[in-house]
């Protein structure tokens, strides 16, 4: 009885097993002869209308790109959709890789502009406070000229067609009648108006009479040189953004698009939706498609080099900061010079312009009346015949020393980064993008293949490795490309290359001394700049307003050290020496004692156990 039941149960189980095997074979055969996975990938990647994908593979003689002798899940309509999709996807990938570079250039362009405006606003306020506090009788009518001076400097930095030297000399021309009638000869101010003939004469002869010594010339040259560097830096950043924006809309040739579609999507036609292209195969296709873009490599490297050197020329030793913030000291020195040379200036003016109308004879004061604050030094200013490299007066250095309180020129713990800090951060980030245009194909291929796979897609089928020759970058190398036919340079890239080369040439002609500036290797390490980021005056760091900073552009020095100090000019191409604060003392004398204590502790532990 039990034996029969046992036989019936076994027979029933055998029937079930055979049914399951038969069902599984049918499912496998059904999947093998369907295009389900191709349809899923077609829909997921938004290639085109889903109804274009056939239910089962078949042989289509109209295929132009994904040709195959056997059945295929593709047709000519799908090939057209694949070409449009792969072009769109490649442009999106290029845009994603250029986004960081574009953000770096645009972000620092805005930051530098904001910092320039901040420095100008601060210097304008500082000069206005000097006039109101020290030269109160002059300030009311002089402040509009101060506002016009800094407004013109701001326009120049933003690219306007403004002459810095003419702006500075116009400022001193406009304040000369005020200084002459209020300080040198205060008894005649009522008879001279802004539009009077005598006032016009004073403005016309100011550069010949030199009532302010060489201060206007020094100030004009210093600001013109350094503001020109800042202006050129802003133009360079805009030029870089122009190049990047153009590469995001690169034109792909028909052969390139076909090569991309064959590399990315022809494997789908055989149901291989997960296989990746071979690394070498991808490089050949991408380098062929981006051959015109790679022609920007050489002018781009030169452009990045100029960008680095312009940044160092502007921010090295706080050059631009000191030039802008030094306007107050220059104007103060000029007014002191006019005070001390009042009789000589009066005699010269009388010979050229005569006496002002309405002035009674004999009413001219014999000595100028002049009121200064208690902090103003009475040391005589330089003579009118002093050269342009004349040392600054000591009273200017004393006044400039306290600038570290409202605006430190060195980074501090409780203040915003200065221009030097921003420049150094910008340079470290910029270095990695010098070979950008020849690394784009490699960056695009990184996401297209898996290195660990033993097999890959070779364009015509699955292979263990890509055996064709991998060509280099550039048009000349791409003549031998086995995957993409490269015929000539794209007109858009050719025009872009020409404009970039022209900008580099104009920069070189405008700043010939930039070639002497070398970007030091330590710039990328971050140690130098990081060591000064939290440095305070209490730590023994150099004060920001000690008057020992240098402005050196085109081989000329504008701010030199105090008399008796070290006049050695620091090389702008070398990083400044940084004092390391808080370092640990040497431990060599402590090591024997530490070893003795360690051995004693081990012996004690062994005895206890």
pLDDT grade for 602, boundaries at 50, 70 and 90: low
Residue 321 burial (C-beta neighbours within 10 Å; 0-12, 13-18, 19+): buried
The arithmetic mean of pLDDT across residues 328-348, rounded, is: 93
Q: Which of 47-51, 282-286, 350-354 has the lowest mean pLDDT?
A: 350-354
CA distance 329 to 127: 8
Q: Which of 344, 23, 50 is nearest to 211 (CA)?
A: 344
Q: Which residue has the higher pLDDT, 545 or 469?
A: 469
CA atoms within 13 A on the CB side of 577: 5
Q: Tens digit of pLDDT for each residue in 351-383?
A: 888 776 544 444 444 333 333 333 333 333 333
- Residue 145, token pair as written in the block: 């000229």
pLDDT of residue 567: 37
d(CA 609, CA 605): 7
Read off the pLDDT band of 601 (50, 70, 90): low
Average pLDDT (41-60) is 88
Q: How far apart are CA 514 and CA 229, in angstroms?
A: 10
Find the largest Cα–Cα distance for the chain. 154
- Residue 34 has a pLDDT of 82
Closest of 432, 414, 441 to residue 523, by C-alpha: 432
Distance spanning both ends of the chain, measured CA to CA = 76
Query: Which residues, in sequence order, are CB contacts of 450 under 8 Å at separation 6+?
Result: 276
Is the pLDDT at 531 greater than 90? The verdict is no
Q: What is the predicted pLDDT for the residue at 424?
A: 86
CA distance 382 to 312: 31
pTM (whole model) above 0.85: no
CA distance 206 to 73: 87
Q: At residue 62, does pLDDT exceed 90?
A: no
Q: Which residue has the higher pLDDT, 531 or 178?
A: 178
Helix (H, G, I), strand (E, B) or coil at 376: coil
Of residues 416 and 70, more confidence is placed in: 70
Long-range contacts of 306-310 (CB under 8 A, 24+ apart): 306/236, 306/504, 306/507, 306/508, 306/514, 307/233, 307/236, 307/237, 307/240, 307/430, 308/427, 308/430, 308/431, 308/519, 309/514, 309/517, 309/519, 310/229, 310/232, 310/233, 310/236, 310/507, 310/511, 310/514
**CA-wise closest residue to 562 among 413, 433, 411, 393:** 393
Question: Residue 520: what pLDDT?
Answer: 53
Cα of 517 vs its chain's centroid, Å: 17
Min mean pLDDT across 274-283, 425-434, 440-449, 598-607 is at 598-607
Low-confidence winner among 45-49, 99-103, 114-118, 540-544 (lowest mean pLDDT): 540-544
Mean pLDDT of the chain: 75
List, for residues 300-336, the tens digit of each pLDDT value: 999 999 999 999 988 887 788 999 999 999 999 999 9
Could you report the per-residue pLDDT of 195-240, keeping only the tens digit for each? Answer: 578 888 989 999 998 999 999 999 999 999 999 999 999 999 999 9
Mean pLDDT of 378-395: 36
Q: How many CA atoms lie within 13 A of 581 on its CB side?
A: 14
The pLDDT of residue 555 is 39
21/16 Cα distance (integer angstroms): 9
**How confident is residue 532, by pLDDT bands cut at 50, 70 and 90?**
very low
pLDDT band at 241 (very low <50, low <70, confident <90, very high): very high
Distance (Å, whole) CA 295 – CA 292: 5
Confidence at residue 169, expressed as pLDDT on a 0 to 100 scale: 96
């Amino acid at each position: 009885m039990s034996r029969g039941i046992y036989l019936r149960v076994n027979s029933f189980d055998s029937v079930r097993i055979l049914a399951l095997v038969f069902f599984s074979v049918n499912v496998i055969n059904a999947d093998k002869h369907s295009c389900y996975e191709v349809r899923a990938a077609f829909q997921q990647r938004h290639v085109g209308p889903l109804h274009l994908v056939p239910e089962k593979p078949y042989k289509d003689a109209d295929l132009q790109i994904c040709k195959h002798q056997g059945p295929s899940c593709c047709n000519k309509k799908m090939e057209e959709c694949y070409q449009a999709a792969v072009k769109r996807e490649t442009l999106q990938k290029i845009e994603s890789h250029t986004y960081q570079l574009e953000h770096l250039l645009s972000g620092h362009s805005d930051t530098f502009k904001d910092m320039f405006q901040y420095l100008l606003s601060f210097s304008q306020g500082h000069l206005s406070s000097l006039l109101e506090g020290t030269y109160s009788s002059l300030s009311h009518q002089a402040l509009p000229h101060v506002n016009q001076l800094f407004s013109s400097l701001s326009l120049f930095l933003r690219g306007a067609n403004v002459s810095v030297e003419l702006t500075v000399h116009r400022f001193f021309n406009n304040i000369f009648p005020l200084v002459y009638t209020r300080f040198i000869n205060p008894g005649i101010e009522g008879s001279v108006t802004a539009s009077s003939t005598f006032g016009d004469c004073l403005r016309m002869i100011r550069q010949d009479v030199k009532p302010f010594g060489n201060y206007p010339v020094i100030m004009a040259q210093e600001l013109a040189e350094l503001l020109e560097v800042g202006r050129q830096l802003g133009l360079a950043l805009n030029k870089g953004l122009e190049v990047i924006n153009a590469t995001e809309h690169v034109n792909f040739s028909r052969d390139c698009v076909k090569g991309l579609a064959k590399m990315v999507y022809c494997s789908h036609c055989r149901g291989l939706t997960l296989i990746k292209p071979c690394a070498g195969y991808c490089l050949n296709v991408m380098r062929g498609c981006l051959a015109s873009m790679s022609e920007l490599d050489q002018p781009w490297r030169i452009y990045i080099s100029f960008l680095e050197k312009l940044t160092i020329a502007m921010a090295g030793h706080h050059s631009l900061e000191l030039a802008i913030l030094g306007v107050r000291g220059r104007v103060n020195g000029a007014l002191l010079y006019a005070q001390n040379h009042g009789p000589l200036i009066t005699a010269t003016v009388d010979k050229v312009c005569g006496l002002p109308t309405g002035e009674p004879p004999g009413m001219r004061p014999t000595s100028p009346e002049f009121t200064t604050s208690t902090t103003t030094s009475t040391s005589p200013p330089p003579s009118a015949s002093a050269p342009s490299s004349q040392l600054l007066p000591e009273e200017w250095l004393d006044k400039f020393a306290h600038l570290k309180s409202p605006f430190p020129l060195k980074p501090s713990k409780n203040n915003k980064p200065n221009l030097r800090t921003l420049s150094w951060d910008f340079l470290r980030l910029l270095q990695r993008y010098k070979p950008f245009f020849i690394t784009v194909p490699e960056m695009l291929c990184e996401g297209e293949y898996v290195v660990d796979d033993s097999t890959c897609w070779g364009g015509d089928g699955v292979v263990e490795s890509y055996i064709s020759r991998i060509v280099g970058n550039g048009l000349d190398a791409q003549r031998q490309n086995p995957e993409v036919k490269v015929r000539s340079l794209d007109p858009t890239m050719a025009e872009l290359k020409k404009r970039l080369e022209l900008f580099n040439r104009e920069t070189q002609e405008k700043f010939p001394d930039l070639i002497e500036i070398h970007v030091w290797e330590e710039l990328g390490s971050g140690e130098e700049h990081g060591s000064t980021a939290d440095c305070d005056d209490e730590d023994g760091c150099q004060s920001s307003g000690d008057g020992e900073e240098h402005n050196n552009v085109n081989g000329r020095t504008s701010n030199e050290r105090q008399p008796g100090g070290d006049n050695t000019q620091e090389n702008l191409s070398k990083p400044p020496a940084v004092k390391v604060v808080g370092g640990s003392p040497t431990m060599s004398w402590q090591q024997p004692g530490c070893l003795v204590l360690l051995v004693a502790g081990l012996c004690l532990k062994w005895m206890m156990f």
